[in-house]
Amino acid sequence: MLWILISLFFFFCAVREIRSSFIAPAGYDLPMPVSKPYLAVVLGLAVLFAWPTVHRWYFQWYLSGRATVLADDHRAKVHCNTMFDTMLDSEMLASGHANPRTGEIAIQKPWCDRLMSYLAHPTRASELEVVSLDIFTHESMHVRGEMNEARTECQAVQRNYRAAKLFGVSDETAKQNALDYFNTTYQMRGKIGGMQGAYYSDQCAPGKAMDEHLSDSTWATP
């Protein structure tokens, strides 16, 4: 928000400069010619300061559309928290949270950036970047209506392959990333236990009680 205000200030400077070339500014008898270098600088600064916010708005809109598809058409609205939002968030320690009633999903500060990095180079995704994909799928499952964390996470595990493909990741890479999450990070949660254990169930595996037998499940064999 602060960046947008700074951007608006520079935009205002540009408008004032153009305006003074038509209407004489206070204290002058004649309109002043536009200073092109000044105009270029203030317009450049206006765009520069607006860019991070505009880019985040676009990314949120892009994520919202895909989260809605994953949530079986329950309308999702994704918000990528800035550092400031995260500080004010009552659930600041969670990587993300969702409200199934309103469809609002909040993703905390570094995780939207990590998801952006994942989408930029899925073939060489780091473990954390793959986790960011799972956080996105997990929160989408809350919007779909599930609130039990172990069941929500298992639904996400089975849909991470679908999620990656919705982002345009190639079939082979999407499968690999989704399976990597299930085989490593997810299994670690079970071993760590405690808070992490609440997101894990040994029934979340092919053929077990939580298997939804999705035709495009992460673990389905083609």
Residues that bind Zn ion (CB under 5 A): 149
User: What are the DSSP calls for the chain, one per residue?
Assistant: -HHHHHHHHHHHHHHHHHHHTTSPPTT-SSPPPP-HHHHHHHHHHHHHHHHHHHHHHHHHHHHHHHHHHHTTT---EEEE--HHHHHH-TTTTSSEEEETTTTEEEE-HHHHHHHHHHHH-GGG--HHHHHHHHHHHHHHHHHHT---HHHHHHHHHHHHHHHHHHTT--HHHHHHHHHHIIIIIIHHHHHH-HHHHTT--TT-STTSTT----TT-TT---
Cα distance between residue 218 and residue 204, in whole Å: 12
Cα distance between residue 85 and residue 106, in whole Å: 10
Pick 14 or 70: Cβ nearer Zn ion: 70
Pick 89 or 149: Cβ nearer Zn ion: 149
Pick 149 or 211: Cβ nearer Zn ion: 149
Pick 113 or 149: Cβ nearer Zn ion: 149
Pick 35 or 148: Cβ nearer Zn ion: 148
Which residues, other chains included, contact 116 with Cβ-Cβ below 8 Å and sequence gap of 6+? 59
Pick 151 or 165: Cβ nearer Zn ion: 151
Cβ 149 to Zn ion shortest distance, Å: 5
